Structure 1
């Protein structure tokens, strides 16, 4: 009995976006044929807009995206990111130079205190230097384009904690669990149920929560926050499984989640993920980070709390 074919998500002559390496390019579907193998499905012959016909290629459905405003925005972000990486790679830091960025400051601080922290593309005038791009793809890492106002929030976060001796109020009024669940509820509407894209969304968000749980105490906290963390841990132990706030994801919120997002490139680089998995992970995280940036006012706290003098004295000697 021949394998049962799935419904075609794309049509002949449809305008789409298609992945080539980790980049999304505008393309047109020229032809469709059933995929070989027992799982069914289809393959699509695509022509990349502005590319020679010699670059026409047969690709599986998971490399194609609908030509929507959301996906066009994602494509623009990925292209801008590669340009930024090329400019950054051309700059050689001076030996002993000063580290920049709140994430670098936090990780440096935590480490000092003992915490662990396809084929070639076409040569086109407006595309990227392929030797640099190939070098980028060889690394199992992701570079997330963090929205500028979230970068600003992280700078204020660093100053509030390390300079002003303040703390993010806990339990957080909008914990990580709520943020991720709100995103899933909205994003699921853009995915076909039981599809590969739907499953990848679920797996990515579950993985992000797991990363957050494991990374919080290791690399996401400033030294000044550690006594607060130990107090929270005592409350978790006392509450047991019946307490409303018993994990990092239902106690901590957007500020610490944003710290994780800027730390992910280093974390992913330490994994054994293959390049295709890394590309899919990055696509999902770019969408989530963009969404969090657009909804920042709903999840980040407007005011930090000032702890007692006793806490401040204890944190300084912690």
Structure 2
């Protein structure tokens, strides 16, 4: 029996539900005769997880070790994204349960206060004052009770609203994980202002739909001469809907993006960059050494760095004119919860979901054009400001 992996080989290794990059330090065939083997047999590897302390080094069976290749890296990123989404779902469930509990407590507390206010004595000045206070409490309790009932009613109405599920294509799931790692693990930033920006991306999609409509009209004209009929797929329906519907969807996406970016679409490390941009300062350096940038001219040839201030004033712009596809894709992860708070009916939700699915397919097709191939390395000066 031989081992599949060799000492000093870079691998991927399961640790719990996730996969991590690791290095094989030792490779052995266990027979189960050595007490230290715990009765286990077969190939085992002593691995060190990249970036972890040596105290986490451990022996693992071959079933937990994977080849370091593109297929397994994609599997690793998919598991990370699934874990992130599961965490978000649990947090949403926790918040919903807390809201329901608060509403129920408010309702019960209001009824109790209202009942006790009727029993307050009023046969002396002191008791009268107490009675007056109790009366006010009773009125407040009744109001609280009504608010509690309203809150419960609002929650029931919210739960009755049609749910929208957005399926993120696998290629974009990988993009999301890469984006998350670049910012949160490697302290890198999307170069801003981004080209194409969100407005540009939405216009590109609109132009794409118009082009597809022209192709469909040409095909239908030919099919009508041949006696053929078109299909009734979701994509076909999109191409026959009024252009005003498409424009409304795109306008809504732009509006949601502009409103959501500052509060919901940024990682903590990006907030300094956002604050600089929102104040009208250019946050990106072009690779030239402008003094205090924290890197040499030679380094500037190979990478860009972000500094706390760029020294170049820009006119105030909306986030959709500054940020690009990276942050727009993050919006799609949050869209179901955002849309859940709207008053869209079931038919509108179906139409919207078809448009969003088609838009995501467009992003996959145009991925090389839409997403940054390289992120910027944050300078020491940026790190200092971001830690304040």
Q: In which range does the TM-score fall when normalised by the shorter chain?
A: 0.5 to 0.7
Q: Which residue of 1 aligns with 2:261?
A: 216
| 2:195 maps to 1:176 | no
CA RMSD for the aligned pairs? 2.9
Residue 296 of structure 1 is aligned with which of 367, 378, 383? Answer: 367
Residue 144 of structure 1 is aligned with which of 151, 166, 171? Answer: 166
Cα distance, 1:229 vs structure 2: 0.2
Distance 2:387 2:364 in 1: 33
Cα distance, 1:249 vs structure 2: 0.9
Residue 279 of structure 1 is aligned with which of 318, 332, 350? Answer: 350
Alignment of 1:100-119 (within 5 A): 100-101=83-84
Cα distance, 1:103 vs structure 2: 9.6
Cα distance, 1:138 vs structure 2: 5.0
Query: Is 1:140–1:271's contact at 8 Å kept on the other side of the alignment?
Result: no
Alignment of 1:76-155 (within 5 A): 100-101=83-84, 139-155=161-177
* Structure 1 residues 215 and 203: alpha-carbon distance in aligned structure 2, compared to 1, 3 A threshold: same
TM-score normalised to structure 1 length: 0.54
Query: Is 1:176–1:252's contact at 8 Å kept on the other side of the alignment?
Result: yes
Cα distance, 1:102 vs structure 2: 6.6
Cα distance, 1:207 vs structure 2: 0.7
Query: Is 1:102–1:154's contact at 8 Å kept on the other side of the alignment?
Result: no
Distance 2:210 2:256 in 1: 21
Q: Secondary structure at the match of 2:270?
A: helix
Cα distance, 1:196 vs structure 2: 4.3
Deviations, residues 165-196 of structure 1 (Å, cap 9, x unaligned): 11111001211111111110110234489974
| 2:309 maps to 1:264 | no
Q: Which residue of 1 aligns with 2:210?
A: 188
Q: Which residue of 1 aligns with 2:179?
A: 157
Gaps of 5+ in 2: 1-80, 92-158, 218-238, 283-312
Q: Which residue of 1 aligns with 2:150?
A: none
Q: Which residue of 1 aligns with 2:220?
A: none
Deviations, residues 218-237 of structure 1 (Å, cap 9, x unaligned): 10001110000011011179
Deviations, residues 118-161 of structure 1 (Å, cap 9, x unaligned): xxxxxxxxxxxxxxxxxxx9543321111111111110111111
Gaps of 5+ in 1: 1-97, 109-136
* Structure 1 residues 104 and 271: alpha-carbon distance in aligned structure 2, compared to 1, 3 A threshold: farther
The count of corresponding residues between Structure 1 and Structure 2 is 187
Q: Which residue of 2 aligns with 1:230?
A: 275
Q: Which residue of 2 aligns with 1:22?
A: none
Higher share of residues assigned helix: 2
Cα distance, 1:100 vs structure 2: 1.8
Query: Is 1:212–1:248's contact at 8 Å kept on the other side of the alignment?
Result: yes
* Structure 1 residues 208 and 103: alpha-carbon distance in aligned structure 2, compared to 1, 3 A threshold: farther
Query: Is 1:103–1:263's contact at 8 Å kept on the other side of the alignment?
Result: no
The more displaced of 250-259 and 187-196 is 187-196
Query: Is 1:166–1:304's contact at 8 Å kept on the other side of the alignment?
Result: yes
* Structure 1 residues 220 and 103: alpha-carbon distance in aligned structure 2, compared to 1, 3 A threshold: farther
Distance 1:207 1:181 in 2: 13
Q: Does 1 or 2 have the higher relative contact order (CA < 8 Å, sep 6+)?
A: 1
Distance 2:86 2:369 in 1: 23
| 2:150 maps to 1:167 | no
* Structure 1 residues 166 and 145: alpha-carbon distance in aligned structure 2, compared to 1, 3 A threshold: same
Q: Secondary structure at the match of 1:306?
A: strand
Query: Is 2:161–2:345's contact at 8 Å kept on the other side of the alignment?
Result: no
Query: Is 1:160–1:167's contact at 8 Å kept on the other side of the alignment?
Result: yes
